[in-house]
Amino acid sequence: MKAKVYVTLKNSIADPQGNAIRGALNKKGFSNVEDVRIGKLIEIELGDITKEVAEKQLNEMCEKLLANTVIEKYEFEII
């Protein structure tokens, strides 16, 4: 069973990396780009477990290790 975890900054948190990339894109001629936000995509091979166990584990993994829940939010999809 495979899962994709998306960890992104909370909307209230500034994203200097995203701003830098937006500036670079604007300079390269993509002047229509208004905003850029950078996050993490974490692909996890979970082995042979049930979907219920996978969901429980993924929440725990995000809370304990994959996301800094003070400044980040997370969502995941099980594939």
The tokens for 4 are 């994709």
Of residues 12-71, which lie at the interface with a second copy (CB under 8 A)?
18, 21, 24-25, 28, 30, 32-49, 57, 60-61, 64-66
Residues near a second copy (CB under 8 A), total:
33
Beta bridge partners of 3: 44, 78
Give the largest CA-CA distance in the chain.
48
Whose Cβ is closer to a second copy: residue 24's or residue 71's?
24
Q: Hey, is 31 helix, strand or coil? A: coil
CB half-sphere exposure, 39, CA atoms < 13 A: 21
Residue 68 C-beta: closest distance to a second copy, Å = 14
Whose Cβ is closer to a second copy: residue 12's or residue 32's?
32
Angle at 78 between CA 77 and CA 79, to 5 degrees: 115
Residues that bind a second copy (CB under 8 A): 6-8, 18, 21, 24-25, 28, 30, 32-49, 57, 60-61, 64-66
